[in-house]
């Protein structure tokens, strides 16, 4: 089985390293040529375009930043649709809106190309280890394909959830991101509030772990919070992008999301202060300013 990866950013790069370690016959493409060259040194085969890559593989996996990138990678002048060979299976993993994925699915289907989405849980360290939870949507026969199942197993260590439709899988990813990023806002404002009463950060995080306030961020960002290390695991500007996709999708189904709306405004304020390329916990710097006596 030959697998192609289009998009060698943080997650795409992590997938590539994981699959190379597992011995996959791997083809790669990124708009930044140096990224392709780096993976060629590790044993991957470079492609000159998404179309070129699609002509050489059995399964192509895509992970790119924005909806317009998804459309270009699949439907653009050098897109996958123009190079796909009969029987190609495309697996789209980018966090974007629902409508762009449905457009791609429709265009590919008209050419006989199979398409599903596999939305991603957690972050780069899990992807490096092949432990990324996958939330899959699309035709069940494509999901059950033995090659797809093997690839998904190696990406996720078996943490695979079939959500049904493409829309359901993407909506699940968007809203769970929104819940998580709203929880991060609540944690960071709680840290600033309790500091006014002389409770230090380490004591707060340890004690609050035993309460209903405990959530993913307590462990995922504990060390970075303690060190005030704001280097990006997942930058604020990416959080804003994801939350805006959620709100756009909510508008399409007339479902107001007041907590998501409030959270995105705070992240936008942090970005306007110059923190957009820093990790989500850099929102703490904005909250420190707001909490000054």
pLDDT tens track for 118-131 = 999 988 889 999 99
Is residue 202 located within the same domain as residue 226?
Answer: yes
Residue 261: pLDDT over 80: yes
Question: Taking Cα atoms as reference points, which of 190, 180, 188, 183 lies closest to residue 282?
Answer: 188
Residue 129: strand, helix, or coil: helix
- 158 and 121 in a common domain: yes
Q: Do 156 and 22 reside in the same domain of the chain?
A: yes
Give the pair of three-digit tokens for residue 130: 């092949």
Check residue 212 and give its pLDDT. Answer: 98
CA dist 175 and 117 (Å) reads 16
SS3 87: coil
Query: Are 264 and 160 within one domain?
Result: no
Asked if pLDDT for residue 260 goes beyond 90, the answer is: yes
Residue 46 neighbours by CB distance under 10 Å? 16
Q: Is the pLDDT of residue 293 over 70?
A: no
- 136, 214: one domain: no
Q: Are residues 133 and 149 in the same domain?
A: yes
119 & 234 share domain: no
CATH code of the domain in which 246 resides: 1.10.1040.10
Report how many domains make up the chain: 2
Domain boundary residue, one of 149, 164, 179? 164
Mean pLDDT of the chain: 97
> How much is the pTM?
0.94
Q: What is the pLDDT of residues 226-241, one digit of tens each?
A: 999 999 989 999 999 9
CATH code of the domain containing 133: 3.40.50.720
On whether both 243 and 122 belong to a single domain, the answer is no
pLDDT, residue 124, reads: 86
What does the alpha-carbon distance between residue 7 and residue 9 come to, in Å, rounded to a whole number?
A: 6
Domain with 23, as residue range(s), is: 2-164
Mean pLDDT for 103-120 is 97
207 and 154 assigned to the same domain: no
pLDDT, one tens digit per residue, over 174-189 is 999 999 999 999 999 9
Of 164, 193, 209, which residue sits at a domain end? 164
Whether residue 194 sits in one domain with residue 115: no
- CA nearest neighbour of 237 among 202, 208, 206, 275: 275
Q: Are residues 119 and 219 located together in one domain of the fold?
A: no
- Statement to judge: residues 207 and 264 lie in one domain: yes
Q: Which of 100, 134, 164 is the last residue of a domain?
A: 164
Q: Is the pLDDT of residue 265 over 70?
A: yes
């Amino acid at each position: 089985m030959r697998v192609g990866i289009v998009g060698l950013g943080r997650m795409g790069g992590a997938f590539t390293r994981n699959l190379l370690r597992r011995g996959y016959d791997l083809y790669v493409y990124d708009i930044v040529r140096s990224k392709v060259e780096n993976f060629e040194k590790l044993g991957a085969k470079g492609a000159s375009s998404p179309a070129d890559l699609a002509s050489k593989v059995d399964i192509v996996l895509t992970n790119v930043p924005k909806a317009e990138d998804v459309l270009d990678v699949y439907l653009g002048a050098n897109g996958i649709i123009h190079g796909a060979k009969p029987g190609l299976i495309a697996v789209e993993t980018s966090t974007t809106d629902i409508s762009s994925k449905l457009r791609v699915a429709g265009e590919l289907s008209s050419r006989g190309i199979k398409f599903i989405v596999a939305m991603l849980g957690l972050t780069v360290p899990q992807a490096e280890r092949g432990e990324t939870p996958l939330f899959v949507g699309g035709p069940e026969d494509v999901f059950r394909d033995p090659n797809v199942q093997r690839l998904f197993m190696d990406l996720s260590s078996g943490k695979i959830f079939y959500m049904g439709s493409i829309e359901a899988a993407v909506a699940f990813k968007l809203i769970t991101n929104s819940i998580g990023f709203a929880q991060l806002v609540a944690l960071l404002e709680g840290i600033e509030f309790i500091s006014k009463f002389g409770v230090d950060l380490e004591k707060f995080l340890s004690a609050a772990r035993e309460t209903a306030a405990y959530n993913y961020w307590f462990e995922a960002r504990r060390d970075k919070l303690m060190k005030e290390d704001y280097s990006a695991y997942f930058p604020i500007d990416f959080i804003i992008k994801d939350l805006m996709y959620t709100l756009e999708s909510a508008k399409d189904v007339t479902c107001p999301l007041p907590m998501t709306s409030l959270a995105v405004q705070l992240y936008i304020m942090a970005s306007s202060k110059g923190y957009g390329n820093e990790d989500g916990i850099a929102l703490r710097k904005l909250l420190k300013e707001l909490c000054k006596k």
